[in-house]
Structure 1
Amino acid sequence: MTGVNLVEIRKTPEPDVDPQGAILRVEACGICGTDARTFFNGDPKAPAPWILGHEPVGVIEELGPGAHLPPGVKKGDRVFLGSILTCGQCRWCTEGFQNLCDQHLLYGYDPYPGAYADYAPVPAIAMKNVIALPPDLPSDLATVADPFACALNGVEVLDIRLGDTVVILGAGPIGCWQAIMARDRGASKVYLSDVNRQRLDIALRAIGAFVDDAWVAGDDNGVAEVLDRTEGKGPERVSVAAPSKSAQQAALLMAAKRARVVYFAGLPKHDPISPLDINQLHYKELSVLGAYGATHRQYRITMDYLRRRRDQLAAVVTHRFPLDRIGDAFETIRSGTGLKVVMLP
């Protein structure tokens, strides 16, 4: 990335191996919503020129002389690399909430360049995030392990109970995966909404079997649609899986009394303040929570999920581009014509 909305393909020397790290020969790397927000809006942690890409899958090509891989992983293995880099020593790390590490960093952001490249450095701090992949799991699908684990975190915070009605605002990859998990967790009704008709149609082709109904959010972001389908009561669980202030407000308006609302998607760093009707929270006794990233435990659960739900999850990967078409890949995301987009060096 050479600037906001600017990208170039450049030949660069292969990265040096960290004495306690590794070099990854990249086979695939997903484009995350965070990458897209950075590309479209800029981010001080991605100072141009910068290599983005924090959902890599590849082969451990080289190890530093003092490197230590996790148990069961060796040089030459095909691996997934979790993106949240943690200290391993603070309260949150020791309690298993690595996503909340006091000093956490994100792979693919300063000071660690990412994996939209043929070879990517794995710094020492990231070595504990390396997970070997099953031999029958395709690399392009394996790139979803990181965002799927994040979606899982959102669903766990949502705390879906047997018989709950669940509404998911945002039919991107995160929303699609949350719909699958909501059904697996016993939701009686799962509804999906998006402002983009094309994206919603693509989502329904991929995961429609898990959704009871879906609609394009209008001026009220689907509040009337939800209340109509729930006899005016509203859903017990609402996930906001879109970086939208209006969706954040709509979630409060549509939620049932004593419902749980989870804000999963963040807002652009230059415009993070959202006006919300706090009386909705107060008078309906809503629980409004945030969810960010994923823990090491959730990464492990994700690997099992990818094996069991391979066909359904694979349908969410709609586009694959060679590295020299990365500009087209970002335009596909901007246009809303795809769900999960993966780069293949």
Structure 2
Amino acid sequence: MKVARFYAPGDIRIEEAPEPSPKAGELKIRVHNTSTCGTDLKIFRHGHHHIDPPRVIGHEIAGEVVEAGEGVTGWEEGARVQVIAAIPCGDCAECKRGRMTVCPNQLSMGYHFDGGFAEYMIIPENVLKVDGVNRIPDSLAYAEASVAEPFACVLNGQTLAGVGEGDVVVVMGAGPIGCLHVRLARARGAEAVYLVELNKSRLDMAANLVKPDAAICGSEADAVEEVLALTSGRGADVVITAAASGKAQEDGLKMAARSGRISFFGGLPKDNPVIACDSNLVHYRELTIVGANGSTPYHNKQALDLIATGAVGVDDLITHRLPLDGVLDAIRIVSSGEAIKVTIEPGRVSV
């Protein structure tokens, strides 16, 4: 079978590999879609401390069951499934308290285990143990189901930030995550949603799809001033920084309303994680700053349901569909900012 393996920064190879067989406690699936993520671009450029190469990457996975290993029940051949990416241990103090997103023993598909940029793959026992394989509703295509994983992360972030009825929400970053945040905020009853992005062409493309109440180009205007103007000086109830930007986090504090919540959704580069925080803003305005780290198996199930019911549409966010040997093209497209969501379809024939 064909796979895309990461060997070193700048070195991902499309190559042949033996078709895997499931061991006891495992599932084997035929991959139909694995969508790309900004993290795949980071891995390609810099590697990752959790990856011991060579490793098949890709963690936004949807496919069909081919074979169940010994002891695995409830999964018949042909079952259509979506797979979690972040794998909590299920046993630690945090997991037992329901805080699986901060499990200190967390593992990940495409990092610790071979991922979805392959024709076939093994779902490890670790995933099955925490109920991390989900049936795809009949109404959903595999491509849409693969977007459930990043959408689950968005769902976790907005739950932690308490996005709800009547909120004015600012989303900073117009990539696929930002687009999902705009749509989920609307589905949760936000009064207005504003989208901020530095790249004008990316902003225009995203805004054309998700229709925010205002689209603010941060390279052409001061985003803080624009948000304050749009809210008659009050600011936003919730600010979500869906970008790996320290300035976005700093600006988020400045544009938040009194009693506002700021979600530091996008992590910062490991070599530059410190921002300037005016703690008096936090103190006197009673601001709340929350982190957001991945998702739980339950968030993935919720995400699939929201997509399947039409509460949050994702199909039109998939702007590029490529075959497995187009993984490097997909990473280039993600890097260029010319796409919203790029999905890899191993069954697609190259042209």
Question: TM tier, shorter chain?
Answer: over 0.9
**Are 1:39 and 2:44 an aligned pair?**
yes
**Are 1:175 and 2:178 an aligned pair?**
yes
2:205 equivalent in structure 1: 202
Q: Distance in 2 between matches of 1:223 and 1:115?
A: 40
How far is the alpha carbon of 1:276 from its aligned partner? 3.1
Cα RMSD over matched residues? 1.8
Cα deviation, 1:51-108, whole Å, max 9, x if unaligned, reads 1111111111122112244xxx423211000112122222332333322223111111
Count of paired positions = 339
Q: Which of 20, 24, 27 is residue 19 of structure 1 equivalent to?
A: 24
What is the one-letter code of the residue matched to 1:99? Answer: T
Cα deviation, 1:201-241, whole Å, max 9, x if unaligned, reads 12122211xx2111111377611111111122211110111
Structure 1 gaps of 5+ residues are: none
State the secondary structure of the residue aligned to 1:257. Answer: strand
Q: How does 1:216-235 map to 2 (within 5 A)?
A: 216-218=217-219, 222-235=223-236
* 2:307–2:313 contact (8 Å) kept in structure 1: no
Q: Distance in 1 between matches of 2:312 and 2:181?
A: 16
What is the one-letter code of the residue matched to 1:188? Answer: E
State the secondary structure of the residue aligned to 1:274. Answer: coil
What is the one-letter code of the residue matched to 2:147? Answer: V
1:104 equivalent in structure 2: 106
Q: How does 1:151-300 map to 2 (within 5 A)?
A: 151-208=154-211, 211-218=212-219, 222-300=223-301
State the secondary structure of the residue aligned to 2:7. Answer: coil
1:95 equivalent in structure 2: 97
1:318 equivalent in structure 2: 319
Q: Distance in 2 between matches of 1:195 and 1:207?
A: 17
**Are 1:334 and 2:339 an aligned pair?**
no
What is the one-letter code of the residue matched to 1:88? Answer: G
Q: Distance in 1 between matches of 2:227 and 2:336?
A: 26
How far is the alpha carbon of 1:191 from its aligned partner? 0.4
**Are 1:2 and 2:10 an aligned pair?**
no
Structure with greater strand percent: 2
State the secondary structure of the residue aligned to 2:208. Answer: helix
What is the one-letter code of the residue matched to 1:43? Answer: H
State the secondary structure of the residue aligned to 1:259. Answer: strand
Q: Distance in 2 between matches of 1:246 and 1:221?
A: 12
Q: Distance in 1 between matches of 2:222 and 2:106?
A: 34
Q: Distance in 1 between matches of 2:162 and 2:298?
A: 17
TM-score, scaled relative to structure 2: 0.91
Structure 2 gaps of 5+ residues are: 1-5, 347-351
State the secondary structure of the residue aligned to 2:314. Answer: helix
Q: Distance in 2 between matches of 1:295 and 1:231?
A: 38
1:133 equivalent in structure 2: 136
1:148 equivalent in structure 2: 151
Task: Report sequence identity in percent.
Answer: 36
What is the one-letter code of the residue matched to 1:7? Answer: I
State the secondary structure of the residue aligned to 2:332. Answer: helix
2:82 equivalent in structure 1: 80
Q: Distance in 1 between matches of 2:69 and 2:19?
A: 14
